[in-house]
Structures are given as structure tokens and as C-alpha cells.
């Protein structure tokens, strides 16, 4: 089939969408049909006939429909691959056959049509010598004090003071939710730990427990967000009955050398130095991300192009899956908590469109600059990511290979090299 003289007519449906009208010549159709029936004849077992001696007319009567389907699929699979190679098209997703304009029969050609989506051809320029304005990445006294406070809070011990619960207190509760007087499925927990103010349960749950005392039973009603993962209670008013088992207040450690040693530093001077160095890196990274977004804003504004709908849907689905996982773990961003499923879908489809445009522009620049990533660079990125995820490099590599996301690591490294070029050649105000 690869050498068959198939006829391919490309219909332009836009910058990223092409319709291929493909016709397979009669001689190739005949050959495939004869091959299919020859194979069937040699293997068919029909009572009253020796193997290999079943009449062709009987084979066609009994198996004709299935043979036609099998032959069509083989003709389409082989000719489609040949067609996109001939026309130098690289579809972004596996297409669906749209129409089969002729039936399958010996002595006649076979025609069908398929629409493919491809990446846009972006003629990138103007990314060298961009005008950028730097902002200060200086670490302020307030930044330093806040960082030290967070370290102290991370080593805080909680003591029972006998006081009523307030923001920042650690409480342990038993609770159960009720809908119309009936217990809610998966709505019950015992000895559940909460830090008031961290909002790890439901909107309003923490606030309802402020002022509670150990041993007290509190009842309150909350409206569950419309986009909540448990659909049977989403948008409903749920009555919660909560028993307060413990109320503890944090006691921050003293700022001394013992505290520093607990954080694996020789003394407070070394800890302060380490904190300052880390804050500088954080501030520099924040500034770098700000500049990246400015660059991307300018390039997206400069280059106008269509994007494949299939990739927008793919990116949006990945985003929404992450949102749903965050929702199940009680980590949903506050901006998303009161959005309906349709509003979430619209929001993350817009986000996906932006992400896709960024990736396509950066990919195009990487191609133009002939950026290559070495195995050593990939290995270095995997080592860094594995350490962050507390995995071995082999475990991480296997997981990425299973998920098919290893190319994302390579693309990310290419994109970083693109930004290096932009920043090195930029004109700073």
C-alpha cells in the first residue's frame, strides 16, 4: 500500500485544519479484497466442506459484511499514513474518519475523507532585543521577618490552654453532616485535626468553630459549593454536628542557637544567612517569572494565529482534572470554590488557550534557534525533580514514561533556553 498511487486532495479549512479527500485506486482495492478472502478461505471451518474448499460465493454470503469492514479499515489505516506523509502534515491528535463517499466493491476505487488538525506555522521574529523593565528583587526587613516567623510556626508546639478556639489554634473534632435529617455519605469523621484559618475543610467550617471550647457540641449549617466533587450534596445546605475534643494554642520556639540547630544550622547567624540567601533566590525567581509573563504577553499580542481545538480541549481537560483532584483533597483555590462546573470549564478553557499559545510560540522559537537538549541536561532536570518529589530518578523516569510526559521535561528545558536568549539580548530600561 505504501507504494500505491493513491490520490490525495487537501481542502484548506483554516490555518490549523485540513480536510484530506483520499481515493484508493481500483487495483489496490481488488488486491486487498482478494487477499482477505484468500486468508479467510484457508482458515474457514464450515460443516460439509473441507478446510480450504469452501466456495467463494458461500464465504461472501456468510462473511461479506465483516470482510468489507476489515478491508476498509486496512485501506484507510495504510492510505491515511501515506497521505499525511506525502502532504507533510503532522496531526496533533488521531483524527476520526468523517465520511466514506463510496462503498467497497471489486472493480471500483474506494474514497473517504478525514479532517486533521495541525499546529500553526508561526513566523517568529522580534524576540531578540525586546525592551524590558526590571523591578527590584531586594529582600526587605518585612520579608525576612515573615520568613523567620513561618519557620518558628513550623516548629511550634501546641498546648492546651483552656481558652476558646481562635484563628491559628489547633483543634481536634468529631463531626457528621446531615442532609434533610439523613446522614451524608462520606460526611463523618472522628478525631479530625484542623488548624483554624487554614481552611482545609469547607468554606465557613473554620469560622463556625471560632469561640468553641473543649467538650462543646456545635451545630451549624453550610451551603456546599456548587462545584463540589460529591454531586449529591453539591449546592445543598448541610447541617453539621461537631464535637470539640481538643483546643490547643501554638507556642513559638525562642530565636536562639538551639532553634537554629533544630533547622540544621550551626547558630542563629548561619540560619539568618541561609534564610536571606533563600529569600534572594525566591525574589529573583519571582522577578524572572514576571519578566517571562511580560515577554509572553508581548509575543502573544504580536503573533496572531489559530490554535487547534483538539489541543485546547486536551489542555483544558488536564487543568480541570487537577482542579478536581485539589477539590477532593480540600485544596481548591478560593477563587474557584463558588464556581459552577460550567464556569470552571469556561475559566480553564481560557487558561488552556493561553497555555497553548505560549507553548506554540516558544516551540517555534526553539526550532528557529535550533535549540537542542542533551541527555545530561535531561538527567539533571530529572534528578532535581526527583529530589523535589522524594523519589529516585529511576522511579520518576518510569512514572513519566508510563504517563507519556517525559517530552514535557524536554520541552520545558527548551523553553528555558528560549527565555535565556530573550533575556540576554533584551534592552533593559
What is the CATH number for 354? 1.10.3120.10
Say yes or no: 287 and 242 in one domain. Answer: no
More confidently predicted of 249 and 56: 249
Residue 112's domain is classified under what CATH number? 3.30.70.1050
> What pLDDT is attached to residue 287?
96
- Average pLDDT, integer, range 116-139: 94
The mean predicted confidence, pLDDT, of the chain is 89
Say yes or no: 70 and 190 in one domain. Answer: no
Domain-embedded: residue 397 = yes
More confidently predicted of 38 and 343: 343
The number of distinct structural domains making up the chain is 3
Residue 203's domain is classified under what CATH number? 3.10.50.40
> What pLDDT is attached to residue 127?
95
> What pLDDT is attached to residue 50?
63
Say yes or no: 416 and 293 in one domain. Answer: yes
* Position 17 confidence tier, pLDDT thresholds 50, 70, 90: very high
> What pLDDT is attached to residue 213?
95
> What pLDDT is attached to residue 56?
67
d(CA 163, CA 211): 9
Say yes or no: 297 and 420 in one domain. Answer: yes
Say yes or no: 290 and 424 in one domain. Answer: yes
- The residue with cell 518529589 is 389
Domain-embedded: residue 33 = yes
Q: Give the closest residue to 242 by CA, choosing from 315, 310, 187.
A: 187
> What pLDDT is attached to residue 297?
96
Domain-embedded: residue 221 = yes
Contacts of 136 (CB under 8 A, 6+ apart): none
d(CA 423, CA 429): 13
- Would you give the DSSP letter of residue 21? E
> What pLDDT is attached to residue 307?
94
Dihedral sign (CA 385, 386, 390, 396)? positive
Domain-embedded: residue 122 = no
> What pLDDT is attached to residue 341?
81
Say yes or no: 246 and 293 in one domain. Answer: no
State what percent of residues in the chain have pLDDT above 90.
65
d(CA 58, CA 70): 18
- The residue with cell 513550623 is 154
Burial class (CB in 10 A: 0-12, 13-18, 19+), 254: exposed
Contact 262, 253 (CB under 8 A): yes
pTM for the full model? 0.74
Domain-embedded: residue 274 = no
Contacts of 258 (CB under 8 A, 6+ apart): none
pLDDT digits (tens, 9 = 90+) for 254-309: 999 999 999 999 999 999 999 999 999 999 999 999 999 999 999 999 999 999 99
Say yes or no: 234 and 321 in one domain. Answer: no
For residue 375, pLDDT beyond 80: yes
Q: List the grid coordinates of 164.
A: 476558646
* CA distances (Å), origin 232, targets 39, 187, 229, 236: 55, 12, 9, 8
> What pLDDT is attached to residue 59?
66
Domain of residue 102 covers 7-117
* Position 202 confidence tier, pLDDT thresholds 50, 70, 90: confident
Q: How many CA atoms lie within 13 A of 117 on its CB side?
A: 14
Contact 382, 409 (CB under 8 A): yes
d(CA 95, CA 81): 11
* CA distances (Å), origin 160, targets 169, 171, 217, 250, 251: 10, 10, 18, 9, 10
> What pLDDT is attached to residue 66?
81
Per 3-state DSSP, what percentage of the chain is helix, strand, and coil (rounded to 5)? 50, 20, 35
The last residue of a domain, from among 67, 91, 117: 117
**Ordered alpha helix ranges (H), 155-232:** 205-209
The last residue of a domain, from among 209, 233, 251: 251
d(CA 170, CA 158): 7
pLDDT digits (tens, 9 = 90+) for 220-254: 999 988 877 778 888 899 999 999 999 999 999 99
The last residue of a domain, from among 204, 236, 251: 251
* Position 48 confidence tier, pLDDT thresholds 50, 70, 90: low
For residue 332, pLDDT beyond 60: yes
The count of other CB atoms within 10 Å of the CB of residue 251 is 11
Contacts of 295 (CB under 8 A, 6+ apart): 127, 130, 132, 419, 422
Rg over CA atoms, the chain: 32
Amino acid at each position: 500500500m505504501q507504494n500505491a498511487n493513491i490520490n490525495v486532495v487537501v481542502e484548506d479549512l483554516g490555518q490549523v485544519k485540513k480536510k484530506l479527500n483520499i481515493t484508493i485506486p481500483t487495483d489496490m482495492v481488488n488486491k486487498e479484497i482478494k487477499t482477505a478472502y484468500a486468508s479467510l478461505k484457508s482458515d474457514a471451518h464450515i460443516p460439509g466442506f473441507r478446510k480450504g474448499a469452501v466456495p467463494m460465493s458461500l464465504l461472501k454470503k456468510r462473511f461479506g459484511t465483516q470482510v468489507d469492514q476489515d478491508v476498509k479499515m486496512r485501506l484507510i489505516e495504510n492510505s491515511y499514513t501515506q497521505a499525511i506523509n506525502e502532504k507533510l502534515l503532522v496531526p496533533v491528535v488521531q483524527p476520526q474518519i468523517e465520511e466514506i463517499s463510496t462503498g467497497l466493491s471489486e472493480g471500483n476505487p474506494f474514497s473517504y475523507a478525514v479532517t486533521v488538525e495541525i499546529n500553526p506555522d508561526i513566523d517568529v521574529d522580534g524576540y531578540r532585543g525586546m525592551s524590558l523593565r526590571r523591578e527590584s528583587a531586594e529582600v526587605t526587613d518585612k520579608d525576612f521577618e515573615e520568613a523567620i516567623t513561618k519557620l518558628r510556626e513550623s516548629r511550634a508546639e501546641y498546648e492546651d490552654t483552656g481558652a476558646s478556639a481562635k484563628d491559628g489554634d489547633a483543634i481536634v473534632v468529631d463531626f457528621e453532616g446531615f442532609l434533610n435529617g439523613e446522614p451524608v455519605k462520606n460526611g463523618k469523621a472522628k478525631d479530625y485535626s484542623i488548624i483554624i484559618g487554614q481552611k482545609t475543610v469547607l468554606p465557613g467550617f473554620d469560622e463556625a468553630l471560632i469561640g468553641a471550647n473543649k467538650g462543646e457540641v456545635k451545630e451549624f449549617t453550610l451551603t456546599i459549593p456548587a462545584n463540589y466533587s460529591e454531586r449529591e450534596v453539591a449546592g445543598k445546605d448541610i447541617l453539621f454536628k461537631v464535637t470539640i475534643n481538643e483546643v490547643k494554642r501554638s507556642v513559638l520556639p525562642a530565636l536562639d542557637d538551639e532553634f537554629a540547630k533544630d533547622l540544621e544550622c550551626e547558630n542563629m547567624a548561619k540560619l539568618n544567612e541561609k534564610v536571606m540567601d533563600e529569600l534572594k533566590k525566591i525574589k529573583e525567581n519571582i522577578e524572572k517569572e514576571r519578566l517571562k509573563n511580560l515577554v509572553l504577553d508581548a509575543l502573544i499580542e504580536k503573533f496572531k494565529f489559530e490554535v487547534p481545538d483538539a489541543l485546547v480541549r486536551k489542555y483544558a481537560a488536564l487543568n480541570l482534572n487537577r482542579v478536581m483532584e485539589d477539590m477532593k483533597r480540600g485544596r481548591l483555590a478560593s477563587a474557584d470554590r463558588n464556581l459552577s462546573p460550567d464556569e470552571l470549564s469556561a475559566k480553564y478553557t481560557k487558561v488552556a488557550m493561553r497555555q497553548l499559545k505560549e507553548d506554540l510560540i516558544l516551540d517555534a522559537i526553539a526550532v528557529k534557534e535550533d535549540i537542542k537538549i542533551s541527555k545530561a541536561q535531561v538527567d539533571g532536570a530529572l534528578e532535581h525533580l526527583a529530589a523535589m518529589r522524594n523519589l529516585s530518578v529511576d522511579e520518576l523516569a518510569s512514572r513519566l514514561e508510563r504517563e507519556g510526559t517525559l517530552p514535557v521535561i524536554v520541552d520545558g528545558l527548551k523553553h528555558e533556553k528560549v527565555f535565556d536568549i530573550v533575556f540576554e539580548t533584551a534592552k533593559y530600561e
